[in-house]
Structure 1
Amino acid sequence: MLRDALLAHRDGARVFAGTHSTGAGILGFSDTFVGVLREAGFSDGDAARVLYTVANFTVGHTLEEQAAAAPENGGPAGVEKLRDAVTSGSDYPHLTRALPAFADMDFGRNFEFGLCLLIDGLKARR
């Protein structure tokens, strides 16, 4: 939901990042999110920290997603620049092997993977 809202606007994540919005929309979303976590057994403090963690991950990921698509950053051609930098020598063997994942422009899939990691960690902590 937050990611979709940020993606709906050019540079939406950049505009949102660093703000401390107190509008009804963000407060309503935050209240519902914290309420769900409290009902799941998280303490008030942990529920607030989970909100920060998920929101920061979402904004940061979306910021990178929008930056990667920006023409001034090379758009999809920026991936080729990364590929060339990593494979130009043998200095980065681990990055070279993982390059298909680093060059993956399926941001939805990458976002889902990160969100699943967070959820799995939260399940283990609860």
Structure 2
Amino acid sequence: MSSPSTRARGRPARLDRPGTVETALRLLDESGLDALTMRRLADALGVQAGALYRHFATKQELLTAMAERMLAGVPAAAGDGPGEGAARDWSEQLADLARDLRTALLARRDGARVFAGTHSTGVNTLGFAEAVTGVLREAGFGDEGAARALMTVAGFTVGHTLEEQAAVQPGNEDSADPERLRRAVASGSFPHLTASLPTLTSTDFTGHFEFGLRLLVQGLRAVEQEQEQP
């Protein structure tokens, strides 16, 4: 395969959406979202920046396609085979879907930042949404409740992962600094924060996520029980 440096003069690069998205994701992993520009992507593909706009009218459209690609396989990873779902409580299925969404976002540098604010209608994103709402509707939630629960689960998972990735991002001066927090708390009268510092400064992000997820599921279970009451 000829590279941009060896391609015959005047021969344009052949662009396609899937290949462009994969290259954009590679650049994202290498340098992060802030460094991902349309010009840099065009350079990596060996084309003029204007050529990209034939496939993606805006950078936001590109980010939406990247977010869609990141969710490939998420419902399948959490789903059960035919007949197996009935053997598992709906709360376990829902929690697994939330965990798989977090895993997919963590698999890419700044994955949550890319995903946040996008509104893909691709098969991967809709497949995840279908899996979540399906679990909830089969558990007895109404259409409105299932939809609101979907938005709540997605919002919690993306928000938590956004904070998690920001906290561990190399070179981020605004990232979480346990020592800075300890000094700030010690400089004033914050007895409750002082007692909670071991947890507040912990980098056990999975533990933090699981705690929040458990609260969310318990809240949904309470809603389900209210619906069952005559």
2:207: which partner in 1?
A: 109
Range with greater deviation from structure 2 (81-90 or 3-12): 81-90
Distance in 1 (CA, whole Å) between partners of 2:118 and 2:194 is: 37
State the TM-score, normalizing by the size of structure 1.
0.93
1:38: which partner in 2?
A: 137
- Pairwise mapping of residues 1-126 of structure 1 onto structure 2 (< 5 A)? 1-74=100-173, 78-90=177-189, 92-126=190-224
Q: Helix, strand or coil for the counterpart of 2:108?
A: coil
Distance in 1 (CA, whole Å) between partners of 2:180 and 2:122 is: 40
RMSD (Å), alpha carbons = 1.6
Distance in 2 (CA, whole Å) between partners of 1:56 and 1:109 is: 18
- 8 Å Cα contact 1:86/1:96 also seen in 2: yes
Range with greater deviation from structure 2 (94-103 or 48-57): 94-103
What is the aligned residue count?
Answer: 125
Distance in 2 (CA, whole Å) between partners of 1:32 and 1:55 is: 12
- 8 Å Cα contact 2:133/2:146 also seen in 1: yes
Which one scores higher on RCO, CA 8 angstroms, separation ≥ 6? 1
Shift of 1:103: 0.7
Range with greater deviation from structure 2 (92-101 or 34-43): 92-101
| Greater Cα radius of gyration, structure 1 or 2 | 2
Moved over 6 A (4+): none
> Amino acid of the residue matched to residue 50 of structure 1?
A
- 8 Å Cα contact 2:106/2:161 also seen in 1: yes
CA deviation map 1:23-65 (0-9, x unaligned): 1101011101101100001000110100000100000000000
**Which structure has greater helix proportion?**
1
Distance in 2 (CA, whole Å) between partners of 1:94 and 1:21 is: 42
Q: Which runs of 5+ in 1 are unaligned?
A: none
Distance in 2 (CA, whole Å) between partners of 1:61 and 1:13 is: 9
State the TM-score, normalizing by the size of structure 2.
0.52
